[in-house]
Amino acid sequence: TQLLEQSPQFLSIQEGENLTVYCNSSSVFSSLQWYRQEPGEGPVLLVTVVTGGEVKKLKRLTFQFGDARKDSSLHITAAQPGDTGLYLCAGGGSSNTGKLIFGQGTTLQVKP
Amino acid sequence: DVKVTQSSRYLVKRTGEKVFLECVQDMDHENMFWYRQDPGLGLRLIYFSYDVKMKEKGDIPEGYSVSREKKERFSLILESASTNQTSMYLCASTLGSPSYEQYFGPGTRLTVT
């Protein structure tokens, strides 16, 4: 069974701090997505990484896919209260049905 | 932009009622999914469909059924709602390979009393 372990589960920081969220697996994925979900809403896709070692930047967010395509990280620089939410990583490619393996999520709270 | 809509944002039903949750996507995606999301348990896959009239059980199909008569529409049915089915229900769709990106609807918060 493929699993994605996400850490930490909860993070509460002050505005302006930096943080990193990790997503690890023993399985290889064809692609890895990061989503952000606000309370009462559905997850929204932030980024997809597909190449081992790939780094993508989205304003203050930096996403990295591990060289072996088994892990990923999300780094946020100078966090803002608007970054508050649930961050989910998800790995794809285990089947041709489009199923994803989701991590348990990281709840981030950024205090002003 | 991909758009996935769900028929209701909030729903309150009584135990034993039959409940229909509908999901519509406008991107001609082959694959559609129903998840439920509960605190501490993450996203759990109930059912998915990879083509019209084709469906497969996910990780927690008990107490649920699905219907996909048209490509754009995927319905989740609770045959006889129970209180342990109170949850946030999320629908998603994807084109599949190569990126497997899933696009989610806004969710339906179902309460069964």
**What would the 3-class secondary structure string for chain B be?**
CCCEEECCCEEEECCCCCEEEEEEECCCCCEEEEEEEECCCEEEEEEEEEECCEEEECCCCCCEEEEEEECCEEEEEECCCCHHHCEEEEEEEECCCCCCCEEECCCEEEEEC
Among A42, A102, A103, the residue with its CB nearest the CB of B106 is A42
Per-residue pLDDT of B34-44, as tens digits, reads 999 998 888 99
CB spacing of B104 vs A44 below 8 angstroms: yes
Arithmetic mean of pLDDT, A88-109: 87
- Say whether pLDDT at B89 is over 80: yes
Per-residue pLDDT of A37-82, as tens digits, reads 999 999 999 999 999 999 999 999 999 999 999 999 999 999 999 9
In chain B, the residue whose alpha carbon lies closest to the alpha carbon of A33 is B101
- pLDDT score for B100: 81
All residues of chain A having their beta carbon less than 8 Å from the beta carbon of residue B103 are 45
How far apart are the C-alpha atoms of B113 and B111, rounded to whole Å? Answer: 6
In chain A, the residue whose alpha carbon lies closest to the alpha carbon of B109 is A40
Query: Beta-carbon neighbour count of residue B109 at 10 Å?
Result: 16
CB hemisphere CA count around B52 (13 angstroms) = 6
- Say whether pLDDT at A22 is over 90: yes
- Say whether pLDDT at B20 is over 80: yes
Position A94 confidence tier, pLDDT thresholds 50, 70, 90: low
- pLDDT score for A87: 97
- pLDDT score for B102: 92
- Say whether pLDDT at A86 is over 90: yes
CB spacing of A100 vs B48 below 8 angstroms: no
Q: Are A27 and A15 in contact (CB under 8 A)?
A: no
Mean pLDDT lowest for which of A102-111, B50-59, B90-99?
Answer: B90-99
The mean of the pLDDT values for chain A is 93
**CB contact B51 to A (< 8 Å):** no
Cα angle, residue A98 at apex, residues A94 and A102 outer, rounded to 5° = 65
